[in-house]
Structures are given as C-alpha cells and as structure tokens.
Chains A and B, each alone.
Chain A
Amino acid sequence: MGQTVIEKILSRHSQNDVRPGQVIWLDLNVRSARDFGGPNVVKNFEREYGKDQVDDPSKTFFTFDLCVPACSIRYANNQQICRKFARKKGFQVFDVDQGIGSHVLIQEGLASAGTTVVGTDSHMNILGAVGSFGQGMGDVDITFAYKTGKTWFEVPETVKVLITGQMSKTASPKDLTLFILKQMGTRKGALRAIEFYGSAVKSLDLSGRITLCSMVTEMAGIIGFIPEYDKTFAEEVEELSGKAYSPLAADEDAEYSDVLTIDVSGLEPQIAAPFLPTNVHDVSELCGKKIDSGFIGSCTNGRASDFAEAARILGRYKVKEGVMLKIVPATRIVYDVLLREGILSELFKSGAIISNPGCGGCAEGHIGLTGEGEVQLSTGNRNFAGKQGKGETYLTSPAVVAASCLAGCITVPEHS
C-alpha cells in the first residue's frame, strides 16, 4: 500500500513502514530551542542528566528570536543561561542577531526536504514549506531530544486538500491562506497532516509556501505539505539553502482520511477579525474601520517579497498621521536583501518604524504591545485575546496592512 508524504518521511527516520495511529521512535536531524523554552530545557537537562553530553552537538541548536536583543533582565538572563550551556556542550547558537529560528534553519540548509526537525516553536511545522517534517514541542520533549536524539511520535492520518479555481489579481498567498483556514476551521485538519494540491498552491514561491504552511498550526493540524512545485521554486530554495531540493512525494495509491476541495475562484483579499484566526471575512466587509497601527513581519509574512509588496503599495505616500507601521524582517538575510534593494529606505520614507530581525510584534517582543482599545492590523498568524496586548488584532496580508496604514482605516489595496 502506498504512503503519504508524512508517512514516507517518518518511515525513513524510524526504520519502520509506518501507518497512521502507530507510535514510533523518530530520529531527529535537528533539535532546537529558542530563548523561550530554552532556559527551561537547560534546567530540565541539568536536573535529569547532570553533566552528561548532548547526543550530537552538530544537530543541536539554540535559536533566539522572541525577545532579541533581550528587552528585560529576565530574558537577558535566560539567553545567557542558554549561551553558557551551549558553550559547555559545544553546540551552535543562532543568536539574537539572526532572526526567526525556523527561517534560519531553512536558510542554513539544516531543515531540507525529508529531514526531521523539532523546536520549542509551535510554528515549526512551517518547515513543511520545504518538505521537511518540523514539529513544535514543549521543553520536556526537547530536553529528551537533546539527550537522546529521538522523540516518540504518533503517525497522523493525512487529509488531501485540492485547491481549485483562480483567485482575483488582488489576492495574495496570505489571502489564500486565510480563506483555506476559514474553510478548514480547527476541525477538518485537526491532529492530521495536510497535503495541498492544485495550481494555486503549486505556483507559490518560498514565501507563499511559508505563509500557507505556517497557518496549518491555526487549523490545529500537525503539518502541511505542498508536494507539487515549479522549477523556479526549487531553484529559489537551492540558492538560499545551498542544498539540492528533492522532496518526497506521496504515492499514487496513498491513503487519505479525507479528500476535500476548496474553490478559490475570484477570491478577494481576506482578513481575520479578533479574536480567532478562523474568524475570516472579505476585507471589503470591514472597509472603513479605523486603525491605530500596522505590523508587517512574523514567521508567516516576514520574507523579502512581503516587504516589497508593502513598499509597492506605499509608494511615495506617507502612512496616515497618528498611525504607526512596524516593519520586522524575518531574518538577517531578508534584512540584507531589503537593504540592498532599497526597500527599507522606501519603507522608512513612508514613515515606517524598522526593527531588527526577529518575531517582533508577534508575541511580547521588543517592538511593543497594543494598548486598550488599539486596533492593529498584523500579518502574523494569531489574534487571540490579549496575545499582543490589550488591543484588537486583525490578521491580513502585507498589502492590506500597507494600504490601510495609508488610509488610516481598513482598505482593499488597489491593483496596479
């Protein structure tokens, strides 16, 4: 009997012909922790394993991205605890200058197609974008992985989702993602792997794939894969990571727990209203709502093309007086591209606040929170009550954030 993508990856890393429902011991190519979760891992490790070595220092990492550089003494102390531990054990830290861990692992070629990667980041399944099995885990799991190089995992079922039709020209990968999320809710993909097929997803570039795969977390799914791809995508990944792109494909006779079709014909820009990511509407329904701030960045929309799109919309105009627009590139490499292409300077001239790479406005990071009554448009992936402060967060695309920051209210960007 044939296998789905996840069954193939898990089989290769467990010497087992895996089937859904089976619990396996999985070999891990990468085990990582962030400045969040990392210090807890150090504490667990020293309590449970004393002065023992980690299983394989060359596969063990810290990636600091949440509060970078540290915005409080407690984060500063925690990061220092991690650095000292890493030095003692002889493994690498992608420090506060590098950017969002999952993106760094892609760019370093550590999370390449077919690999298994875990970290203290619930969006680690973003790595599905490059055909890697990434999984977020808590500090107990990661401690065990540091020590043993393995983790237990229950093989999930797979849902096949066929995306049909053509979106309108104003719709971006984020709009596609939000619309799929709206259709999937938190039930249809829950606790399962998802394979997306169809021309609207096959043609996505790395940034678009990252956007879609990142929000599988909000669908309550285990991970998403986009098995079909164009040559340009393969070249993009190869150039970035320095590794050949050869993803595993599902067998023709693979078994799916469900096959769903989502028609995106004529799809217009989308927005998720507070306080659930699944609370998705057409932007046109909410047009005119006054906003106070915008945030472009996060692991979902922090790539160079996301900022280029925002810069295109902003053009020579300035963000509306009284509105603040925060820009946070996902990684140092993205920042460098934006710098060289003059995009940062264009954004700056439009009045944006530009921050160093990292998670930025997504969690309680270093670029501030929302105050009571503040309305924020964010390109992130979560708008749960209280997550980024006391205000209300709407999730949408870089283009909608940019256009709305110009107008001072929720606006559908014009297509040029």
Chain B
Amino acid sequence: MTETTLSGKIWVLAESGHLVEDIDTDQIFHNAFLHITDIAEMGQYALGNLKGWENFPEKAGSGDIIIAGRNFGAGSSRQQAVDCFVALGISAILAPSFGAIYFRNAVNSGFPLLRSTELDTLVLSSQMETGDRITLDFGSSEAKNLTKETSFTIETMSGVQSAIFKSGNLFGYGKTLNRE
C-alpha cells in the first residue's frame, strides 16, 4: 500500500489575499517548451509564465505542496504542466477545483491533486500562508496546518484516482487489470 499521508511546506498562489483562479497551462508550463519530452528537463519551467512566480523552480523544495485557486490547470492538454511539478519533487497540489484534462493527467501520473472547499476562506483570513507546514491524509480527508495549529478537510480520492495512485500511475494500474 502506498502512503496516503503527506506533509510539507506550502506555497500559496495568491494575489492580494485571494487565491488566483483560472491559472492556465500556459502559465504553468509555457508552450514555448512543449517540444520537451524528458521529465527531468521540465522542472525549470514550472510556473515560469505566472506573474510573480517566475523563479518558483529555484525556491521550491522537494516535498513542498502548492495551494491554488479554483480551475487550476485550465487550458491545454499538455502533460508537461503536471510533469514539471513531478520533476521538482512537489508532493501535491490543493485547490477548490481543477481543469478537467489537467485533473486526469495528474491522476494518470499518480500525482495527488486534492480538492478542498475551505481554501479560499483559509487564505483570505490568513489562516493559510506560504511557508506553513501542513499535513494531509487523503484516505480520511483530514488535513492539518501544523504551523497555525488548525485543521481543515479535503475531499477523499475517488475510486479510480486512488487505485491509479496506489499502482504508481495509469500504466501500473493497467497491468493490474490484465492480471485479473
């Protein structure tokens, strides 16, 4: 069984106290780099076209968690917009909602995208800030902000999402299906 708990330092993608909504895949991983097929090369371009976050790759550390606004990953179908975070060692992204294709791409890569409806309020009331350490249990939907000593809830993973996550990625999951 793969661990379903994660903890790490957070980066809050907010502007004047509000989570930035509708961040599209060109802001996450610009189309100028779509020719790249090697995941290791992708990390350096993560959030490279999002105003104020251009040097995110230098600041981010392995195991960090991103907090984003609703409809994160709107736009194109590029897998690179997920893989660039995998390359940096980001361990999860939390948002109120995600773009449909973006969400699938992450699920298929075994990268945890988790939804929480409380994020807007938490960020607005400064109960969630960049640098805080949080811990998430996406088996039980419990989450805690260790720095602020508060708790909040996240949605549990759906059946497929968790099955694919547990198999590593869609390919690993496919192999489990063949064995049945």
A220 touches B104 (CB 8 A): no
Contacting residue for A37 out of B77, B104, B158, B171, CB 8 A? B77
8 Å CB interface, B8-50 against A: 21-22, 24, 26-27, 30-32, 34-35, 37, 49
Most interface-central of B108, B158, B160 (chain A CB within 10 A): B108
Shortest distance between the CB of A145 and any CB in chain B (Å): 10
Say yes or no: is B116 at the interface (Cβ < 8 Å to chain A): no
Say yes or no: is B100 at the interface (Cβ < 8 Å to chain A): yes
Q: How far is the CA of A39 from the CA of B79 in the complex (A)?
A: 12
* Interface stretch of the complex, out of A70-78, A173-181, A402-410: A70-78
Q: How far is the CA of A124 from the CA of B76 in the complex (A)?
A: 10
Say yes or no: is B139 at the interface (Cβ < 8 Å to chain A): no
B37 touches A43 (CB 8 A): yes
* Chain B, Cβ-Cβ closest to A140: B108
B105 touches A138 (CB 8 A): yes
Q: How far is the CA of A105 from the CA of B87 in the complex (A)?
A: 34
Contacting residue for A385 out of B49, B74, B160, CB 8 A? B49
Say yes or no: is A354 at the interface (Cβ < 8 Å to chain B): no
Say yes or no: is B145 at the interface (Cβ < 8 Å to chain A): no
Q: How far is the CA of A317 from the CA of B26 in the complex (A)?
A: 37
A140 touches B105 (CB 8 A): yes
B27 touches A385 (CB 8 A): yes
Contacting residue for B49 out of A48, A72, A136, A386, CB 8 A? A386
Contacting residue for A36 out of B27, B30, B78, CB 8 A? B78
Shortest distance between the CB of B45 and any CB in chain A (Å): 12
* Chain A, Cβ-Cβ closest to B159: A23
A138 touches B78 (CB 8 A): yes
A40 touches B79 (CB 8 A): yes
Contact partners of A75 in chain B: CB under 8 A: 35
A387 touches B31 (CB 8 A): yes
Binary CB contact string for chain A from 248 to 291 against chain B (1 if under 8 A, 0 otherwise): 00000000000000000000000000001000000000000000
Q: How far is the CA of A382 from the CA of B77 in the complex (A)?
A: 14
Say yes or no: is B57 at the interface (Cβ < 8 Å to chain A): no
Contact partners of B74 in chain A: CB under 8 A: 186, 220
Most interface-central of A75, A137, A148 (chain B CB within 10 A): A137
Q: How far is the CA of A36 from the CA of B32 in the complex (A)?
A: 11
Say yes or no: is A196 at the interface (Cβ < 8 Å to chain B): no
A220 touches B99 (CB 8 A): yes
Binary CB contact string for chain A from 22 to 52 against chain B (1 if under 8 A, 0 otherwise): 0100000000000011011001100010000
Given contacts A154-B158, A190-B71, A220-B71, A138 and B100 within 8 Å (CB-CB): no
8 Å CB interface, A60-115 against B: 66, 72, 74-75, 78
A384 touches B174 (CB 8 A): no
A363 touches B31 (CB 8 A): yes
B108 touches A40 (CB 8 A): no
A384 touches B27 (CB 8 A): yes
Shortest distance between the CB of B44 and any CB in chain A (Å): 16
A141 touches B108 (CB 8 A): yes
B160 touches A186 (CB 8 A): no
* Chain B, Cβ-Cβ closest to A25: B177
Say yes or no: is B109 at the interface (Cβ < 8 Å to chain A): yes
Say yes or no: is A347 at the interface (Cβ < 8 Å to chain B): no
Which residues of B are at the interface with A, using a C-beta cutoff of 8 A? 21-22, 24, 26-27, 30-32, 34-35, 37, 49, 51, 71, 74-80, 82, 97, 99-101, 104-105, 108-109, 158-160, 169-171, 174
Which residues of A are at the interface with B, using a C-beta cutoff of 8 A? 23, 36-37, 39-40, 43-44, 48, 66, 72, 74-75, 78, 120-122, 124, 135-141, 143-144, 147-148, 152, 154, 186, 190-191, 217, 220, 222, 276, 363-364, 382, 384-387
Known pairs A140-B171, A191-B97, A363-B31 / 7 extra A-B pairs, C-beta < 8 Å: A137-B105, A138-B78, A141-B170, A220-B71, A364-B32, A384-B26, A386-B49
